[in-house]
Amino acid sequence: MLIVLDPGHGGTSRANVGPTGYVEADGVLDIGLRLRDLLTPYFAVRMTRQADITVELHDRTAMANELQADLFVSLHTNGGPPEARGAEIFYSRNGEWGDIFHKEAKRVALHVQRELVAATGLFDRGIKTWLINSPGSPLHGKDYLAVIRRAKMPSLLVESGFHTNPQEEALLKTPQFRQKIAQGIFLGLFVAYKDKLVNATPIIGGPQATALQLQEWARKRGAHQRFIDIAPVYMEYGLLTGIRPEVLYAQSGKETAFGRFGGAVTPTHNNWAGIKVKNPKGDTPEDHEVFSSPADGVRGHFNHICAYVGLPPVGVPHDRYFVVKSLPWAGTVKMVEELGGRWSPNPDYGFSIVRDYLTDLLATEVPPADELTGLRAEVARLKEQNSQLSAFLQQCQKERAAFLAEADDYRNQLQFIRSYIRI
């Protein structure tokens, strides 16, 4: 699938600026380059410009039309009175090819707007169309924006905040906020086209790793023994639910620091996924669900994901499960990458699970049985050697203490003799 990104303006078109020097042409180019890098593992991507050069309006859509792109996304920041704020998206309604792209453009715009607002915290101005109102003109009733009207594919024009608003300009001038914009747009496009992506990561499916592989990966990552020991239980619930166990085990590695915990959630919670109570008030231990046992915590983890993907829970679910079930997107999350903005407000959350945990897990090799036996024997030998060294060290410490006591006695006798001689 090919997406053409169009960073607006550039070159001789640099008039759109903020009150303290933000330049729209530069800001949206940076956003476009960041967005390109995020999209590239999943989509074919082309850009109308990758530097500060002049690209005429008709050349932007002409490039996309010639490439027969599947989607055209023009990137902008907005201008208006200082109080104007927020993000909005214009999309295809009635272009030079009629309204054939309207339905698809609206569908994609809804996804992108939702994720953009969630990622940035910008005020939601919604999605909209903008038509030419000029009776008698051959363009009357057509899309007003040329890059939308002339595109022979579904098209969006994304306005990511107002550079004329002092508060939003200050945000737009930071690389961190421009990254959030890119992440939000990316996640929206990912969700919109997830069913067409061959390299996305499904949550539902059979196991693609073994319990031994999970445990070997955990050991290599320095996991606590409790995390290593719970791996077979993840396999059991994976088979019960139809959810890939290695996906949730990788997520648990992220959530619990490989069973070391260390945050608001403690080992006594038996909570492997940081699941909160029905009505949390913050991020304290009391705000997180407590499960009756480590295995029951695994059941809770799978049940929670069941609410996301639309599968029935195992047994009676915890209270937070029903909160998720009431959300408008409940049952629609199919890919690990979609968990960003849902399980966690960070749009990179799901991608981090895949990138930083799951990929490494799936690449982990379990030593052959004879090698494994040898390694276990070596571990036992080292433990025994360590025990002997500990005993030897304790004996040395006792002998040292006795020596120091005897030395103190000699010093006392010597001091008595010296004092006697002086008399």
**What's the CATH code of the domain at 118?**
3.40.630.40
- Look at residue 374 in the predicted model and tell me its pLDDT: 61
pLDDT at 372: 62
Say whether both 181 and 289 belong to one domain. Answer: no
pLDDT of residue 375: 62
Same domain, 149 and 176: yes
CATH number at residue 221: 1.10.530
* Whether 169 and 265 share a structural domain: no
Tell me how far CA of residue 352 lies from CA of 190, 208, 339, 357, 422, in angstroms: 15, 19, 10, 7, 80
Q: Cα dist. 31→34, 109, 186 in Å?
A: 5, 18, 11
Q: What is the pairing mode between strands 2-7 and 44-47?
A: parallel
Q: What is the pLDDT along the chain (423 residues), one digit of tens a residue?
A: 999 999 999 999 999 999 999 999 999 999 999 999 999 999 999 999 999 999 999 999 999 999 999 999 999 999 999 999 999 999 999 999 999 999 999 999 999 999 999 999 999 999 999 999 999 999 999 999 999 999 999 999 999 999 999 999 999 999 999 999 999 999 999 999 999 998 999 999 999 999 999 999 999 999 999 999 999 999 999 999 999 999 999 999 999 999 999 999 999 999 999 999 999 999 999 999 999 999 999 999 999 999 999 999 999 999 999 999 999 999 999 999 999 999 999 999 999 999 999 999 999 999 887 656 666 666 776 787 778 778 877 887 888 888 888 888 888 888 877 787 776
3-state secondary structure of 24: helix
392 occurs within a structural domain = no
Number of domains in the chain: 2
Domain identity same for 223 and 340? yes
Q: Are residues 227 and 277 in the same domain?
A: yes
> Exposed/middle/buried for 258, CB within 10 Å: 0-12, 13-18, 19+?
buried
CB-side neighbour CA atoms (13 Å) of 249: 36
> What span, in angstroms and rounded, lies between the C-alpha atoms of 22 and 19?
7
| pLDDT at residue number 410 | 81
Same domain, 317 and 237: yes
Residue 27 structure tokens: 């800001």
**Within a domain: residue 109?**
yes
Task: State which of 158, 173, 196 marks the end of a domain.
Answer: 196
Give CA–CA dist 43/334, Å, rounded. Answer: 18
Are residues 220 and 315 both part of a single domain?
A: yes
pLDDT of residue 51: 97
Cα separation, 403 vs 251, whole angstroms:
55
Residues 217 and 264 reside in one and the same domain: yes
Q: Are residues 318 and 291 in the same domain?
A: yes
Neighbours of 342 (CB within 10 A): 21
Q: What is the model's pLDDT at position 204?
A: 98
Domain of residue 305 covers 211-363
**What single string gives the DSSP state of each residue in 124-178?**
EEEEE--B---TTSTTTTSBSSHHHHT-SS-EEEEEEEETTSHHHHHHHTSHHHH
Instruction: Mark whether 126 and 272 lie in a shared domain.
Output: no
CA separation for the pair 124, 138 (Å, rounded): 33
Tokens of 10: 């550039």
The pLDDT of residue 362 is: 98
What pLDDT does residue 423 have? 60
pTM score of the predicted model: 0.80
Beta bridge partners of 27: none
Q: Is 376 exposed, middle or buried (0-12, 13-18, 19+ CB in 10 A)?
A: exposed
**Three-state SS across 181-224?**
HHHHHHHHHHHHCHHHCCCCCECECCCCCCHHHHHHHHHHCCCC
223 & 148 share domain = no
Distance (Å, whole) CA 378 – CA 370 = 12
**Domain boundary residue, one of 136, 161, 196:** 196
- On whether both 35 and 112 belong to a single domain, the answer is yes
